[in-house]
Amino acid sequence: MDFTNDNAALWNFILQMGTIAAILIAANVIRRKIPFVKKVLMPTAVLAGFIALALRLTNIIKIDIALMEMVTYHTIAIGFIALSLIIPKRETNYSKALVGSKTGALIVSTYLLQGVMGLVISIGLAYTIKPDMFMAAGILLPMGFGQGPGQANNVGSTYEALGFAGGQSFALSIAAMGFIVACTVGVIYLNILRRKGEFKKVDENGSIPEAATVEDFQNKNEIPVSESVDKFSIQIALVLMVYLATWGLATALTQMLRATENDFAMSLVPLIWGFNFIFGSLLAVTLRGIIRLCRNIGWVTRQYQNNYLLARISGYAFDLMIVAGICTINIEKLAGLWLPFVLMCIAAAFGTLFYLKWICKKIYPDYYYEGFLSMYGMMTGVISSGVLLLREIDPKFETPAASNLVLGSSFGIGFGVPMLILIGMAPRGDLVFTVLGCCVVYFFLLLAYILFFKKDGNRIRQL
């Protein structure tokens, strides 16, 4: 084999990943050292993505688009699998679990609201001034704003294959605009609260979280940090093993659906692969339960997962996903789509703002501002955007707002299953109005659960 630079296939992956790594480090330096950028609160990965996009569009660097799309697709699944392998506390207060479930319902209801706004715009344009508009395009609004570049890339690519020209870039552009909205509207609202005296600016140097302790790396009964195999290697092996099983499950489901030769069943195939991270999360939770069962009956004596290392794997995967996703946006493919793009982004920015301002008062009466800001950041960007806004008003995470983001996202997976079916139905032109109606009905069902469901109880046991 030729190991020199003449072998482009051998060195391409390293060169591309090295370039992304250098841009990520540079973005971190810029965010910390330039006051204006620091005040904007834009996540480092988002800033790195925009820098990489600008460098690519100006031909300063060459980005392998196909490779970056592959990285975006795989890292979202790897990140969620790592998160799902983390061992939760055995018990939690029932009221906290109830708030978590209502937060999950809130997350999905916000997706539905964004989807309804997007569909109304895309269908309205298709029947008026833009008859060539792909009517299901509006459902990409929650995929970009609410889910971020990973899901925007997956569903956008699926819709592009189903006839939406420029669908992938359209969805990724919506995701990129979502980050901008989170970092501008969110910061403006923070400044308004500050002027009203609702909170005081905190010295960033005084709000640095505590450093990791020895217990984070070596809890009781865990495998040693380094024995015959390194502990980090075990975490990587667990994640990749679950991802391999995810591929196997998705392949089996695909073969079953294709065997039916039914049009509706066939339309679900792209969604199985587009939402592979959900299957990965479910398999990871299953593996976590199996390992715990084996420990309880004595077949396994050591704890194999390390929460700290799994969280770092997840964080790296999501950072890489964001950079790779944003830098692949193709501005040229947005030609002819600027009107729906602008209308949808404006509708999502302000519709999400007013809805969350109202509903968060119902769910988080004791920490309304913290709950609202964290949710708005997440529902227009990703979870890190919500945490960044939250740290400005609650730097030590003294309220439950930060944990609600994680707990609510777990419940949101269950609440979001019906929406996956609707996303699969939407590209069929004869079903788009049915999808719109179902989104409206499901939105009000979740809203009723948030507002009216109450139940007494003491404790609830988690996996």
Work out the burial of residue 37: count CB atoms within 10 Å of its CB; fewer than 13 is exposed, 13-18 middle, 19 or more buried: middle
| 3-state secondary structure labels for all residues of 390-454 | HHHHCCCCCCCHHHHHHHHHHHHHHHCHHHHHHHHHCCCHHHHHHHHHHHHHHHHHHHHHHHHCC
Per-residue pLDDT, 92? 47
181 is a domain residue: yes
389 lies in a domain?
Answer: yes
User: Tokens standing for 16?
Assistant: 């591309």
Going residue by residue through the chain (463 aa), what tens digit of pLDDT does each one get? 778 878 888 899 999 999 999 999 999 999 888 888 777 666 788 789 889 989 998 999 999 988 988 888 888 889 888 888 888 765 445 456 678 789 989 999 999 999 999 999 999 999 999 998 999 999 999 988 877 777 787 788 888 888 888 888 888 888 878 877 887 788 788 878 877 777 655 544 444 444 455 555 566 666 666 566 788 888 999 999 999 999 999 999 999 988 887 766 776 777 677 778 778 888 998 999 898 898 888 887 778 888 888 888 988 888 888 888 788 777 776 777 889 999 999 999 999 999 999 999 989 988 899 899 989 988 987 776 777 678 778 776 677 887 787 678 778 878 888 888 888 788 877 788 999 999 999 999 999 999 988 754 433 333 3
In a domain, 380, yes or no: yes
Q: What is the pTM of this model?
A: 0.72
Task: Give the whole-angstrom CA distance, residue 101 versus residue 90.
Answer: 17
pLDDT tens-place string over residues 110-152 = 999 999 999 999 999 999 999 989 999 999 999 888 777 777 8
Strands 91-93 and 459-461: antiparallel
Task: At 436, list the tokens.
Answer: 């719109």
What integer pLDDT is reported at residue 283 of this predicted model? 92
- Tell whether 369 is covered by a domain: yes
What is the chain's Cα-based Rg?
Answer: 22
Question: What is the Cα–Cα distance from 126 to 424, expressed in whole angstroms?
Answer: 20
Give the model's pLDDT for residue 221: 66
Closest CA to 134 of 97, 107, 160, 172: 160
* Domain span including residue 50: 10-455
- Residue 2 is assigned to a structural domain of this protein: no
Q: Is residue 403 part of a domain?
A: yes
Inside any domain, residue 460? no
In our burial notation (b when 16+ CB lie closer than 10 A, e otherwise), range 158-182 reads bbbeeebebbbbbbbbbbbbbbbbb
How far is residue 116's CA from residue 355's CA, in Å, rounded to a whole number?
Answer: 13
User: Is 396 a member of any domain?
Assistant: yes
- Structural domains counted in the chain: 1
